[in-house]
């Protein structure tokens, strides 16, 4: 019986982790701007990111808190996700710059 309890507890723990990661990534979806008074810099959809400066759709991947910006399967840049909430995004560039955005 203890093995069954252990397996059930492990299952629920893994389910909890999966739900947490899904909800966190869902927070990325939306319009992002550097500040309340500034224009939207980019929009993130479930599959793409569109920067308004160049009006181009890029793809992205997220793995272990690293947001990888891709173009035709080629890596453009990596951003470390430092903070992600339903209305805030803070990430670190490869050069070490910290970029903060708010969701509009």
* Per-residue pLDDT tens over the stretch 63-78: 999 999 999 999 999 9
State pLDDT tens for residues 14-60: 444 444 444 467 899 999 999 999 999 999 999 999 998 888 899 99
The CATH architecture of the domain made up of 2-103 is Beta Barrel (2.40)
Strands (E), the chain: 30-33, 42-44, 48-51, 56-63, 66-71, 74-84, 88-92, 98-103
State pLDDT tens for residues 83-95: 999 999 999 999 9
**C-alpha–C-alpha distance, residues 60 and 53, integer Å:** 18
Q: What is the pLDDT of residue 89?
A: 96
């Amino acid at each position: 019986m203890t093995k069954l309890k252990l397996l059930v507890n492990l299952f629920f723990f893994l389910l909890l982790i999966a739900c947490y990661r899904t909800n966190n990534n869902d927070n990325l979806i939306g319009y992002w701007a550097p500040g309340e008074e500034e224009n939207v810099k980019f929009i993130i959809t479930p599959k793409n990111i569109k920067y308004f400066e160049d009006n181009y759709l890029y793809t992205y991947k997220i793995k272990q808190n690293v947001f990888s910006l891709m173009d035709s399967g080629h890596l453009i840049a990596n951003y470390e996700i430092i903070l992600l909430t339903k209305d805030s995004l803070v990430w670190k560039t490869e050069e070490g710059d910290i970029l903060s955005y708010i969701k509009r």
